Structure 1
Amino acid sequence: MKDGAISAVCFADGTLRGSPGTADLAWWSVTKLALAAAALVLARAGRIDLDAAVEGAGGASLRALLGHRGRIANYSDLADYRADVARGGVPWPPKEMLARVAAMPRPAAWAYSNTCYYLVRRAIERAADAPIGRALDELVLSPLGIADARIASRPEEMAALALPAPDYDPAWVYHGCLVGPAASAARLVGGILAGPILSPEARAAMRTVSPVPDAGPPWVTAGYGLGLMTGRIGDGVRVGEPRVGGARVLAVEGHSGGGPGSGCAVYRFAELPGTPTVAVFAPDGACEARAVALAVEAAEAWSRRAGLRAPPGCE
């Protein structure tokens, strides 16, 4: 893609479009979807209870934490957090982070919170009896055939990314930050939403959403399930009305993310031919609208290859 963006498309039949390369990228909060999938796999095996109170979460259940309904403040909203990250500081010990969060005002019923997902991480580690990197590999990545993604653990890894985050310690992402190629990010999201690791009941639970207020462009409508961002997004041209002035507005499921040096958007487009899952990583972080445009382009290419006519709105 243009403007320094890196992308990949994975179709429902498993084929990849183009040659996205093997360079590592930070998946940032797309990791939340992997964490949610791991929790659901553990729940199906009877190793964790989604509705039991989570240790250290003030009575909130794992289900509530996964849906950002734990009423726990977001550590990344702290001015000191942003300042320390910007100057390349040493990450706070988790206990210190939690103490700082405890002093923040308690948020409303739904509020996006990275702190919730740190508590999710701890719950998964306890249930799996493994550090989060190994737990995600055993529960999610390996079952989906993904061998080239991992939880970053060293600043050197972040500095060596294709879209680098120099002088950044990944321990600042308290829930963990997966890194890997763009194609594997697309395979992860497509595999979680349509692959074999989750039962239909688990995916239905994942898709039970709370409305997200004031999501803003390019989102037209937005909701959050269990680790899943869902709704309708546009390609940035007069967002709000489908096909007005050339705009495309499509239903999506997946997750966005961002951090020093890059942002990302990895979404599955079930309405489009070939059901593409698109992963876009860009240095400016404006990825969702790019993902819509790339998904439409990929669907047109898939339709031509399959001898199909693209549906209205994708021509």
Structure 2
Amino acid sequence: MPNLPTPTSRSGLRAACLLAVGVVLAGTTAAAPNTPSDPPASRLQRDTDAIHAAGAIGVTVRYTAPGTVRTTRSGEAESHSGRPLPRDGYYRIGSTTKTFVATVTLQLVAEGRLRLDEPIETWLPGVVRGNGNDGRRISLRQLLQHTSGIPGYTAIPAAVPGLYSARGYRENRFRHYSPDELVSAALTLPSRFEPGTAWAYSNTNYVLVGMIVERVTGRSWGDEVRDRILRPLGLHDTRVPGDDPYLPRPHAQAEHTFAGDDRPTDTTVLNHTVADAAGAMYGTPGDIDRFFVALLSGRLLGPAELAEMQHTRAIPDEPGRGYGLGLESTESSCGGRYWHHGGDDLGFSSENGVTADGRRAVLVVKNGVDENDEAGGARVDAATRALIDHALCAPDPTRP
């Protein structure tokens, strides 16, 4: 999966997650002119420009509320090209994939085919063993909520060299990975803590969830996502690409500056089996927005299952944020909290927010990641959070 943060980041594939936290973006260019549908005076456009000014090469924002759909853009689709960003371009959604996989899993729970608190040894006998990792003491719930203690395979450069350097990327961008291979790599590391006693983001958790879905249904997690979510919702531009390393057009260019490099690498082409059920999907802002609105509106899960998904555990060192079962929450400035799950990939980063009733949603996609500019990444993150909060708290939902 494209772009990953540093080994200590919870959102990037390599760091232990594809979620969006502490992502570092690079490149500053002049903002593209506003289109007629993007009034220059709007708060949403000003906030979009602020993300670009903070360091993102390009930014696309989609906002929806009853009777309102807005798209704002700032920056470029490719550094120093002058090429405008597509209004609804394809991008690799990274860890946002986890919310799709968790939704399918909870549908299987509702059907009585899975139980959240049963040991994963029930479905994957003997798979999770070694270095203190023991599937007999880890539940499905703990995988979904990142409380299993299982380490992330993305923290091992030798296992996923394409995520760690420009040379590694070029030599491995077409490489196929199997779920068993990814899990085996993770189990060479010791368990991080006793299951259920702490929280730590790990992509390995969701690779295992994908394996469980396949064991229970006899079909891949990707097939289940397609038939249970994508087709019923008409999300025609969202895919689980398998070994296909190419994004459909139109799309921005993924640009990733690896640690120690002084120039970005074009990372647009990548075999995403390296992310598997932890982050292998791609989509468009319009599709991903519709998915989250449907989820929070109760169209994909029953009340009991949605409540399980929204039962959160505090995320360490991130006040006001919690992690449920493949879904995060953040306190908003206008009271209550909004729901989301972002994703980082090689050269792409995204974050979103949806109100509890599913009536307002906003999604931010950025292209360009620089692992060497931690301060710039923090500025981009802060500007992104500010945009989401402003949009969801605007007094008039039709004028974000």
Q: TM-score, normalised by structure 2?
A: 0.64
Secondary structure of residue in 2 paired with 1:157 = coil
Alignment pair present for 1:116 and 2:205 = yes
Secondary structure of residue in 2 paired with 1:150 = coil
With over 3 angstroms needed to count, the CA separation of the structure-2 counterparts of 1:84 and 1:148, relative to structure 1, is: closer
With over 3 angstroms needed to count, the CA separation of the structure-2 counterparts of 1:155 and 1:252, relative to structure 1, is: same
Residue 103 (structure 2) aligned to one of 13, 37, 40? 37
Residue 106 (structure 1) aligned to one of 191, 195, 202? 191
Question: What's 1:95 paired with?
Answer: 180
CA distance in 1, matches of 2:273, 2:354: 29
Report the Cα offset of residue 214 of structure 1: 1.6
Alignment pair present for 1:178 and 2:281 = yes
Residue 293 (structure 1) aligned to one of 378, 387, 393? 387
Aligned-residue CA RMSD (Å): 2.8
Residue 147 (structure 1) aligned to one of 225, 236, 241? 236
Report the Cα offset of residue 17 of structure 1: 2.3
With over 3 angstroms needed to count, the CA separation of the structure-2 counterparts of 1:194 and 1:146, relative to structure 1, is: same
CA distance in 2, matches of 1:49, 1:151: 25
CA distance in 1, matches of 2:320, 2:305: 23
Higher RCO (C-alpha 8 Å, min separation 6): 2
Question: What's 2:147 paired with?
Answer: 69
Equivalent residues of 1:223, 1:230 under 8 A apart: yes
Equivalent residues of 1:72, 1:115 under 8 A apart: yes
Question: What's 1:281 paired with?
Answer: 365
CA distance in 1, matches of 2:276, 2:142: 18
With over 3 angstroms needed to count, the CA separation of the structure-2 counterparts of 1:169 and 1:301, relative to structure 1, is: farther
Residue 263 (structure 1) aligned to one of 328, 340, 349? 349
Secondary structure of residue in 2 paired with 1:190 = helix
Question: What's 2:338 paired with?
Answer: 252
Between 1:42-51 and 1:251-260, the stretch displaced more is: 42-51
Amino acid at match of 1:265: E
Alignment pair present for 1:22 and 2:93 = no
Equivalent residues of 2:159, 2:185 under 8 A apart: no
Question: What's 2:252 paired with?
Answer: 162
Report the Cα offset of residue 31 of structure 1: 0.7
| C-alpha distance after superposition, 1:156-209 (max 9, x if no partner) | 238974343334221110215221110111111121122322111111101111
Question: What's 1:309 paired with?
Answer: none
| C-alpha distance after superposition, 1:43-86 (max 9, x if no partner) | 11122222222213412221111011121101111232453333
Equivalent residues of 1:17, 1:298 under 8 A apart: no
With over 3 angstroms needed to count, the CA separation of the structure-2 counterparts of 1:67 and 1:148, relative to structure 1, is: same
Paired residues, number: 286
Gapped regions of structure 2 (runs ≥ 5): 1-47, 53-57, 73-85, 129-134, 255-266, 370-379
Question: What's 2:301 paired with?
Answer: 198
Runs of 4+ deviating beyond 6 Å: none
Between 1:27-36 and 1:170-179, the stretch displaced more is: 170-179
CA distance in 2, matches of 1:120, 1:257: 18
Gapped regions of structure 1 (runs ≥ 5): 234-241, 243-247, 306-313
Equivalent residues of 1:230, 1:252 under 8 A apart: yes
Equivalent residues of 2:90, 2:251 under 8 A apart: yes
Between 1:18-27 and 1:205-214, the stretch displaced more is: 18-27
Equivalent residues of 1:278, 1:295 under 8 A apart: no
CA distance in 1, matches of 2:113, 2:280: 24
Question: What's 1:209 paired with?
Answer: 312
Report the Cα offset of residue 299 of structure 1: 5.7
With over 3 angstroms needed to count, the CA separation of the structure-2 counterparts of 1:93 and 1:177, relative to structure 1, is: closer
With over 3 angstroms needed to count, the CA separation of the structure-2 counterparts of 1:252 and 1:82, relative to structure 1, is: farther
CA distance in 2, matches of 1:163, 1:253: 28
CA distance in 1, matches of 2:209, 2:382: 26
Equivalent residues of 2:348, 2:365 under 8 A apart: yes
With over 3 angstroms needed to count, the CA separation of the structure-2 counterparts of 1:297 and 1:44, relative to structure 1, is: closer
CA distance in 2, matches of 1:48, 1:169: 30
With over 3 angstroms needed to count, the CA separation of the structure-2 counterparts of 1:149 and 1:223, relative to structure 1, is: same
CA distance in 2, matches of 1:266, 1:116: 22
Equivalent residues of 1:256, 1:288 under 8 A apart: no
Residue 188 (structure 1) aligned to one of 281, 291, 306? 291
